Chains A and B, each alone.
Chain A
Amino acid sequence: DGGITQSPKYLFRKEGQNVTLSCEQNLNHDAMYWYRQDPGQGLRLIYYSQIVNDFQKGDIAEGYSVSREKKESFPLTVTSAQKNPTAFYLCASSVGTKAGAKNIQYFGAGTRLSVL
């Protein structure tokens, strides 16, 4: 988990509330990713960013939003439109956009989001 910091570790959301999960990396990586993990479903990609000020939707982007204003930061907002937000959220980063052999994704320790 070194180099990628996710906060908070636990987060509770009230109905109708937006919440923001933080992801910071000090690895000087260009690319960053957000995944959602549910039991028995593996990891599903929410959003990813290949470079500052640019990001793309993943497989399950509805109800989520992101920004990439700085290279080291990629916050994820879970909006009130996400009706089933309870999950474990993982942030990852990798060297760059080119799918080269060294482009391994490294993960943070995760944030567990629950609904009150």
Chain B
Amino acid sequence: AQSVAQPEDQVNVAEGNPLTVKCTYSVSGNPYLFWYVQYPNRGLQFLLKYITGDNLVKGSYGFEAEFNKSQTSFHLKKPSALVSDSALYFCAVRVPTGGGNKLTFGTGTQLKVEL
């Protein structure tokens, strides 16, 4: 069975500082990995995905994520945080074959960016 772990319930960072939101995964086979962001009382918005190719993936709003196969990680990063980045972030994994495109989500990490 596939699973995703987001070890930090909350991450606090000062505006202008780099941010990292951690994600590790467990799947049989090669994974498809995703990051989504959720603002209060809203649905999830797609940020970026890793399918294959370059380990560093760039996405929306200046976010990027680094795929590390040996560490089974897919950490979300941004060089300079903004207060408007404050939101709930979800990592998700999908197996590329079978499974009906089902995503397995982590429990989410609340990012708080302060002035």
Q: Are B45 and A107 in contact (CB under 8 A)?
A: yes
Question: Measured between alpha carbons, how far is A42 from B45 in the docked complex, in Å?
Answer: 14
A35: chain B residues at CB < 8 Å are 105
Q: Is A43 an interface residue (CB 8 A)?
A: yes
Q: Are A104 and B46 in contact (CB under 8 A)?
A: yes
Q: Are B99 and A99 in contact (CB under 8 A)?
A: yes
Query: Which of B9, B41, B96, B102 is within 8 Å of A45, CB to CB?
Result: B102
Contact of A103 with B105 at beta-carbon distance under 8 Å, contacts A42-B90, A43-B90, A109-B43 already known: no
Can you name 11 A-B pairs with beta carbons within 8 Å? Answer: A1-B42, A4-B43, A40-B108, A41-B107, A48-B101, A92-B44, A98-B101, A99-B94, A99-B98, A107-B44, A109-B41
CB proximity of B93 to chain A, nearest CB, Å: 12
Please provide the chain A residues from 10 to 66 with a CB less than 8 Å away from any CB of chain B in the complex: 31, 35, 40-45, 48, 50, 56, 58
Question: Measured between alpha carbons, how far is A114 from B45 in the docked complex, in Å?
Answer: 24
A contact residues, range: 20 to 34
Contacts from A to B (Cβ < 8 Å) = 1, 4, 6, 31, 35, 40-45, 48, 50, 56, 58, 88, 90, 92, 94, 96-99, 101, 103-110, 112
Question: Measured between alpha carbons, how far is A103 from B102 in the docked complex, in Å?
Answer: 11
CB proximity of A79 to chain B, nearest CB, Å: 23
Question: Measured between alpha carbons, how far is A105 from B99 in the docked complex, in Å?
Answer: 14
Question: Measured between alpha carbons, how far is A108 from B42 in the docked complex, in Å?
Answer: 8
Contact of A109 with B42 at beta-carbon distance under 8 Å, contacts A42-B107, A43-B105 already known: yes
The 9 closest A-B CB pairs, nearest first, are A107-B43, A42-B107, A42-B105, A101-B51, A107-B44, A43-B105, A109-B43, A1-B43, A108-B43
